[in-house]
Amino acid sequence: MDTRSVTHLALRNYKSIESCEIELAPLTVLVGRNGVGKSNILDALRFTADALNTTLEFAIRERGGIDQVRRKSLGGRPTHPGVALRVRTPAGEAEYSFRIAAVKGLAFRVDRERCRVFDAGGGIRHEFDIDGDAVTRWTLQSAPPAVSSDRLFLVAASGQPEFRLVWDVLRRMTFHNLNPEAMKLPGRPEPGELLSHDGRNLASVIKQLQSSNGGRLNRVLQFIRAIGVPISRIAHKQAGALETIEVSQEVQVPEGSRNSNFDAISLSDGTIRAIGILVSVVSAGPSKSSGPTLIGIEEPETSLHPAAAGAMMEALAEGAETTQLIVTCHSPDLLEHSAVKPDMIRPVLLDNGRTVVGQLSPHKAELMRDHLCSAGELLRLDQLEPDAADLKQQEEARGTLFEAIA
């Protein structure tokens, strides 16, 4: 089953990325050394979701300002960061793109924005184009909303059902770079539909799972035990006005065995991170009307014993059967699993200060398909390389996604 909500991503001048276009899989693994820009690719998607869920100004400020978002120009010429995506909605396919320009005084404005909704034959059913402060194309009979140069027009256009589905798919993308300390401390109750970026609302998500679908929480326990952590129960725990999680672990005593209960603060960083990742992936579920449309995870193998990486990859592969996943990785142990296929892997390299990413080279993909070498073995040998033909096509900037942000 193809669970993709975002099938293609194109970027221009975003952080370390000069230009790239990536076809995404139901489970995409961005593989590369530390510091090559894997996180920047993931952050471009999160930046889009942040700008649609809050404001563009907040999304830029959270990243340190427009100069930290746009690629540094070596020649002194200004660079305009742009993001373009091809998405799937319940009604069909669509393309959405925007480009941001810096203005004097470290401010910014939306320089260009476009949304196209396609019919079953690939023709344009609905469309809007924004150029600066002007609506240059609006195909609906109703008058277009007002343009605001510091906000994405799609937010206002989402009031129209023809564009709402696109907005809904993109705003429900969620991303995790989990912070064990934030996850361990008791916190105030929060919405529990989606796990937050740092995981601080883990207790709220587990409470919702307990009340709505205990079977998914049992699946989390099964994966946790497969990873090697002997936990028999995970539960929400109220602590006055705050909440946390409580786990039960079987321990041996002279009389036999009994369950001992521990609060989250007693768990190791690796265990609490693994619980957070598994809860997010499992809680997504098969419903496309609620929950995340895409989940991005930074280095799910962090703090895990190498022997546990296989169970984590199995959980990710199972999660990708219901919700699209994108993960960053530089662990050979995670890539040893038989579920890792060549079409999942996107090697990421740093070339003269710019991030490049592409499909896995055909030769290396053939080695994997013929079971002559695993992805983990290729990574250990530093032989996971992108397809040269794919990179050349990206440099030539072919396709409508590139044109939208050129």
Residue type, 359: Q
- pLDDT digits over 314-370, tens only? 999 999 999 999 999 988 999 999 999 999 999 999 988 889 999 999 999 999 999
- pLDDT digits over 65-98, tens only? 998 999 987 666 668 999 999 999 999 999 999 9
Tell me if 50 is assigned to some domain.
Answer: no
Q: What's the pTM value of the predicted model, to 2 decimals?
A: 0.92
Tell me if 117 is assigned to some domain.
Answer: no
Nearest to 180, CA basis, from 284, 265, 244: 265
Select, from the ranges 211-220, 285-294, 395-404, the one with the highest average predicted confidence (pLDDT).
211-220
- pLDDT digits over 273-319, tens only? 999 999 998 877 655 556 789 999 999 998 888 888 889 999 999 99
- pLDDT digits over 50-72, tens only? 999 999 999 999 999 998 999 98
How many residues in total does the chain contain?
Answer: 406
Q: What is the pLDDT of residue 76?
A: 60
Q: What is the pLDDT of residue 105?
A: 65
Tell me if 311 is assigned to some domain.
Answer: no
Tell me if 274 is assigned to some domain.
Answer: yes
Round to whole Å and give the CA distance between 118 and 124: 5
Residue type, 318: E
Q: Which domain holds residue 274?
A: 176-292
Domain count, the chain: 1
Which residues, 6 or more positions from 235, have their beta carbon under 8 angstroms from its beta carbon?
A: 206, 210, 245, 246, 247, 248
Report how far Cα 260 is from the mean position of its chain's Cα atoms: 36
Nearest 5°: phi and psi at 73? -95, 125
DSSP-assigned beta bridge partners for residue 85:
9, 96
Tell me if 47 is assigned to some domain.
Answer: no
Round to whole Å and give the CA distance between 220 and 213: 12
Tell me if 246 is assigned to some domain.
Answer: yes
Kindly report the number of other CB atoms within 10 A of residue 30's CB atom. 24
Tell me if 5 is assigned to some domain.
Answer: no
Tell me if 391 is assigned to some domain.
Answer: no
